[in-house]
């Protein structure tokens, strides 16, 4: 799953490589956290590293090909997409990997991973948390 070494991020500023990799968000003056961190925010934001684990808030299966640039050049295959609630931070939209739709449950612990997007770029996703 984490075989994205050496691939460029799909967009600059989404995550820090770590270890462990962490998504980058922004905190507004009122404490609200946003993700992704906007390139040109309308108000000052404090750059923060987000949690690497959260809980599954909602999910679906993406059965149709997204519009470019959000799909790679390979033939389209349906994928899981969901919202992951990062504790006391923000709810993040993400691909879900390493499982099947019938194994997902509300509140399931999820873990951030960096995965290949295509042969040149990487993206972030969440998978069910692997406990030691």
User: Using CB atoms within 10 A of its CB, is residue 126 exposed (0-12), middle (13-18) or buried (19+)?
Assistant: buried
In whole angstroms, give the CA distance from residue 29 to residue 132: 38
CA 119 to chain centre: 19
Contact 50, 22 (CB under 8 A): yes
Residue 43: left (phi > 0), alpha (psi -120 to 50), or beta? Answer: beta
Distance from C-alpha of 9 to C-alpha of 38, rounded to nearest angstrom: 16
- Give the least confident one: 1-10, 15-24, 31-40, 102-111: 1-10
**Mean pLDDT of the region 98-119:** 94
Q: What is the mean pLDDT of the chain?
A: 89
Confidence band, pLDDT 50/70/90 cuts, at residue 29: very high
Express as a percent the part of the chain with pLDDT over 90: 61
* 116: CB partners within 8 A, 6+ apart: 3, 4, 7, 122, 123
Confidence check: pLDDT of 1 > 50:
no
pLDDT band at 7 (very low <50, low <70, confident <90, very high): confident
Q: What is the rounded CA–CA span in Å between residue 79 and residue 62?
A: 5
pLDDT digit string (tens) for 53-71?
Answer: 999 999 999 988 777 766 6
For the chain, which residues make up each domain, given as ranges? 8-128
Residue 2 has pLDDT above 80, yes or no: no
| pTM score of the predicted model | 0.86
* CA–CA gap between residue 39 and residue 74 (Å, rounded): 29
The residue that leads in pLDDT, 125 or 7, is 125
Angstrom distances, CA of residue 64 to CA of 59, 71, 91, 119: 15, 11, 23, 21
């Amino acid at each position: 799953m984490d075989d994205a070494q050496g691939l460029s991020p799909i967009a600059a500023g989404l995550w820090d490589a770590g270890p462990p990799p962490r998504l980058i968000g922004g905190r507004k003056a009122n404490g609200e956290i946003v993700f992704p961190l906007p390139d040109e925010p309308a108000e000052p934001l404090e750059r923060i590293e987000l949690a690497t684990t959260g809980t599954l808030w909602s999910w679906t299966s993406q059965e149709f090909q997204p519009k470019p640039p959000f799909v790679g050049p390979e033939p389209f295959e349906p994928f899981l997409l969901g919202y992951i609630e990062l504790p006391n931070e923000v709810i993040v939209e993400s691909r879900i990997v390493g499982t099947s739709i019938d194994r997902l449950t509300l509140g399931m612990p999820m873990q951030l991973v960096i995965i290949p997007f295509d042969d040149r770029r990487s993206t972030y996703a969440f998978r069910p948390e692997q406990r030691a």
